[in-house]
Amino acid sequence: MPATRKPFALRLDPALHAEIERMAARDLRSVNAEIEFLLREALSRRGVKVGVSEQPRRGRPPKVD
Q: What is the 3-state secondary structure (H, E, C) of the chain?
A: CCCCCCCCCCCCCHHHHHHHHHHHHHCCCCHHHHHHHHHHHHHHHCCCCCCCCCCCCCCCCCCCC
Confidence of residue 3 (pLDDT cuts 50, 70, 90): low
The whole-angstrom separation of Cα 46 and Cα 31 is 23
Confidence of residue 59 (pLDDT cuts 50, 70, 90): confident
Name the residue ranges covered by the structural domains of the chain.
14-45
- pLDDT for residue 7 is more than 90: no
pTM score of the predicted model: 0.71
**What pLDDT is attached to residue 52?**
78
